[in-house]
Amino acid sequence: MLVLGVDPGSITTGYGIVSKKNNLFTCITSGAIESTGNVPFYDRIFKIFEKMVELMEQYRPDEMAIEDVFFAKNVKSSLKLGHARGAALIAAVKCNVKIYEYTPLEIKQSVVGYGRATKEQVSSMVRMILKLPSIKRADTTDALAAAICHLNWTRYEKKI
Amino acid sequence: MLVLGVDPGSITTGYGIVSKKNNLFTCITSGAIESTGNVPFYDRIFKIFEKMVELMEQYRPDEMAIEDVFFAKNVKSSLKLGHARGAALIAAVKCNVKIYEYTPLEIKQSVVGYGRATKEQVSSMVRMILKLPSIKRADTTDALAAAICHLNWTRYEKKI
């Protein structure tokens, strides 16, 4: 099972593809889609869509896990976040990748075992689970955490 | 010159294609992309993207005019609006249609001649300019108003 985790944002969108075989998690690829300030907003959003499609076509993940956002700092930032998140969703529907949404609380609960875990706690658990020496960006860590959460949740679902 | 006007929304996205020849505005097509409540949110967003691409491929508009939103009712509704607006922007970049953004004030100013015009005033001016007996939805009217605004603005720009 191959899961693409996404942490959307209009400036930086983190992504990570995680596989799971015999209870072993492996990071296949991970990174961040970044935009410089000079690029028009619509081109930044298109870049997220384009890169997501590229990743899905190259790695053929079975499913996508993405944060379910209920709030943002303010109306303006949530509007921008909506554009970025929409780009990831459109790419997934286009590539026939099934979408699963998790709240930040569910992701932290699943990865760290505690819904109110700090960013540092999430990051060190993600590194430990995937046996990675370091992860450059918080957005990438959060994307990998979403993927791990989904793989954990799927295991739980199958047990039931 | 053929302009596609868009009034994005996660439940209803209005659209209208307006042509201008010899100072005469004509509505080529108009309508609204609607979603019923039972459809998952990501499918609703994808439907907007898909229909926008379809319209652009069928009518080949030169440019797209879309409302520049700075605010929404609340954080949750602006997040949803962002998804829908992103779908229209991604479709335009994909189809090489140049994007122009106008504030609600600029659109009303351009169509009615008064930035604080009511929805009814905008609607009756749009109907008059396009010689349409009636327009079913406010979202469609707003999309047509954005297209007219852009065509007016382009004329002004060329004069300079």
Q: Is A43 a catalytic residue?
A: no
pLDDT at B14 over 60: yes
Q: B99–A42: do the CB atoms touch at under 8 Å?
A: yes
A80 to chain B, any CB pair closer than 8 A? The answer is yes
- Name the residue with tokens 């797209």: B64
Which distant-in-sequence residues (6+ apart) come within 8 Å of B30 by Cβ?
B14, B15, B16, B17, B135, B140, B143, B144
Query: What six digits make up the tokens of B115?
Result: 């930035």
CA dist A102 and A157 (Å) reads 14
Q: A85–B85: do the CB atoms touch at under 8 Å?
A: no
Summarised one tens digit per residue, pLDDT across range A3-50 is 999 999 989 999 999 999 988 999 999 999 998 778 999 999 999 999
Q: Is A139 a catalytic residue?
A: yes
Summarised one tens digit per residue, pLDDT across range A57-77 is 999 999 999 998 866 778 888
Provide the β-strand partners of residue A29: A17
Asked if A50 and A42 touch (Cβ cutoff 8 Å), the reply is: no
Number of domains present in the structure of chain A: 1
Strand B2-7 and strand B12-21: the pairing is antiparallel
Asked if B31 and B156 touch (Cβ cutoff 8 Å), the reply is: no
Q: Please name the residues between 101 and 160 in chain B that touch chain A, using a CB distance below 8 Å.
A: none
Residues of B annotated as catalytic (active site), given as ranges:
7, 67, 139
Provide the β-strand partners of residue A15: A6, A31
Q: For position A7, what pLDDT does the model report?
A: 95
Q: For position A64, what pLDDT does the model report?
A: 98
Chain A residue with minimal CA distance to B44? A90
Top residue of B52, B54, B76, B79 to mutate, by most chain A CBs within 10 Å, is: B79
Closest by alpha carbon to B93, among B56, B128, B129, B144? B56
B39 to chain A, any CB pair closer than 8 A? The answer is no
Per the structure, the complete domain to which residue A109 belongs is given by: 2-159
Indicate whether this model's pTM tops 0.80.
Answer: yes
Summarised one tens digit per residue, pLDDT across range B66-120 is 998 866 778 888 999 999 999 999 999 999 999 999 999 999 999 999 989 999 9
Q: For position A159, what pLDDT does the model report?
A: 47
| Predicted complex ipTM | 0.91
Q: For position B157, what pLDDT does the model report?
A: 57
Asked if B44 and B35 touch (Cβ cutoff 8 Å), the reply is: yes
CA dist A90 and B125 (Å) reads 35
Question: How far lies A144's CA from each of A7, A133, A150, in Å?
Answer: 9, 14, 10
pLDDT at A158 over 70: no
Q: For position A76, what pLDDT does the model report?
A: 86
The mean per-residue pLDDT over the stretch A133-158 comes to 85
Summarised one tens digit per residue, pLDDT across range B40-76 is 999 999 999 999 999 999 999 999 999 988 667 788 8
- Name the residue with tokens 């080949």: B60
The mean per-residue pLDDT over the stretch B28-50 comes to 93
Q: The CATH number of the domain where B136 resides is what?
A: 3.30.420.10
Asked if A106 and A148 touch (Cβ cutoff 8 Å), the reply is: no
Chain A residue with minimal CA distance to B43? A93
